[in-house]
Amino acid sequence: MRLDEYRASKLASLTRLSLAEGLILVLLAVGLLGYNWALLGGGMVRLGALLTLIGLLLGVRYSSLFDALVPLALIGIVMQLPILYVLGIGGGPLWLLVPSSAPAPSGAGANPARLCGCVARRP
């Protein structure tokens, strides 16, 4: 197997696992109703692929898994910081500068999950 085929298979399989995990978590947390499943799934696939590529890029730098754990954990924490914007915790729109965030909303204080259509509006 060539190196590029190996990378593509790793990316595809780990992204599928990420999508399955995300969908299971959404189903267990909030159920079936109120989501645009195509947009939600597309976002999960893109984020899973991004995180998988970052993991592969960092993983090749280290000779053992234990050497790579701390840098991977730190990058994982940084990639999840945009949730603080959605929750309204400190930093304001600065959290949207992280690559894993939703596209910058046009309105001040707007919820990016609602803007992309992933979450249905409730009265």
Residue 14 lies in a domain: yes
Please state the domain count of the chain: 1
At 119 the three-state DSSP class reads strand
Asked whether residue 123 is domain-assigned, the answer is no
pLDDT grade for 36, boundaries at 50, 70 and 90: confident
For 49-75, what is each residue's pLDDT tens digit?
888 888 888 878 888 888 888 888 888
Write down the pTM of the prediction.
0.65
Q: What does the pLDDT look like over 77-121, one tens digit per residue?
A: 888 887 777 777 776 777 777 777 754 443 334 444 554 545 544
* Domain span holding position 89: 3-115
In a domain, 120, yes or no: no
Within 10 angstroms of residue 93's Cβ, the number of other Cβ atoms is 13
